[in-house]
Structure 1
Amino acid sequence: MIKKILALVISLGVLGFASAAFAADPVPRVVYHINDSEHQALGGLRNIRNQLDTAPNTKIVVVAHALGVDFLMSNYKDAAKVDPLISALAARGVDFEVCEITLKNRKLKKDDFIMEANFTPSGVVRITQLQNQGYAYLKP
C-alpha cells in the first residue's frame, strides 16, 4: 500500500513539474496555416504583424501548402502587396515554410520562391508536429 501511495505522489509530482514548466514557457508559439494565397495570405500576414506588434516575443511559423504556397513565389500576382510584409516579418523572426509535396504535385521548383521561403517535406505533417510542440493553430 505504501508503495502505491509513494508511486502516486511521485507521479503527481512529475506531472505537476511538467505542467508548471509548460505553463511557465514565456514564449507564445503560433503556427499559421495558409492553403489559399488569394483568400488568406494578405490577411494572414497582417494578423501576424498585429500579433507581433502586441506580443513581440511570439514565435511564429507560417506553413503553406496547396494554393497557399503561391504568395511565397517570386512571380506572385500580388507580390507588391505581400513581399514587403514577408520581408519585414522574416526580419522579426517569422519562419515561412513551403510544403515539398505541393512542389512535386504542382511541378514547382525551389528556385521559383522568394528567399524568405524555407521548405518542409509535408505541410500538414509540419503543422501537426508544431501543434504537438505546443504551438497554437491559426487559420486566417
Structure 2
Amino acid sequence: MKKILTILFAAMLAIGFVSIAKSQSNGPTKVVYHIDDAEAQGLKGLRNIRNHLDTAPKTVIIVVTHANGVDLLMEGAKDKKSDTEYAPLVSALKSRGVKFEVCEITLKNRNLKKDQFILDADFTPSGVVRVADLQYKDGFAYIKP
C-alpha cells in the first residue's frame, strides 16, 4: 500500500510540473526589464525593448525602475551622451503596450515627487519586490539591459 501511495504521489507531482510548464508556455512571452541606472541602461534598454517588440510584438513587457533608474522617467530626462530625450521613446513604447513603473521607496529616499515624472510612468511600492514578484509569481523572464 505504501508503495502504491508513493507512486501515486510521484505521478501527481509530475502532472503538476507538466501543467505548470504548459501554462507558462501558453500565451505571450512575459518579460520584466529591470533598470536601476538610467545613464548606463536608459537608451540601450529602450532600444532593446523596441527591438524586442519589433521581433515579437505580442510580448508583454513591464519596465521596473528604481535607484538611479527612475531618472529615465523624469520630466525632461535625456541620455547624456547623445542628448536624446527619453520621453518620446517611452511614449512610443507605451503605445505598444509596455508598462513603465517607478519605485516609491526610491521617491522617498531621493525626496522626489510623482509630479516630476512623465505621464507615462506608473508607480509601484517597491521596485525590487515588483521585479521578484513578476519573476516568481507571474512567470516573467528577467532582462537587465
Cα drift, residue 82 of structure 1: 1.5
Tell me the matched-pair count: 139
Match of 2:37 in 1: 36
Asked if 1:18 is matched to 2:20, the reply is yes
Matching residue's letter, 2:50: R
Matching residue's letter, 1:40: Q
Output aligned runs, 1:1-140, within 5 Å: 1-22=3-24, 24-78=25-79, 80-132=84-136, 133-140=138-145
Cα drift, residue 80 of structure 1: 4.8
**Could you tell me the TM-score, scaled by structure 2's length?**
0.88
Matching residue's letter, 2:139: G
Determine the C-alpha separation between the residues in 2 that align with 1:128 and 1:11: 25
**Could you tell me the TM-score, scaled by structure 1's length?**
0.91
Root-mean-square deviation (Å): 1.6
- More deviation in 46-55 or 8-17? 8-17
Determine the C-alpha separation between the residues in 1 that align with 2:84 and 2:7: 65
- The answer to whether the 8 Å contact 1:42/1:81 transfers is no
Matching residue's letter, 1:6: L
- The answer to whether the 8 Å contact 1:35/1:65 transfers is yes
Task: Point out where structure 1 has 5 or more consecutive residues left out of the alignment.
Answer: none
Task: Point out where structure 2 has 5 or more consecutive residues left out of the alignment.
Answer: none
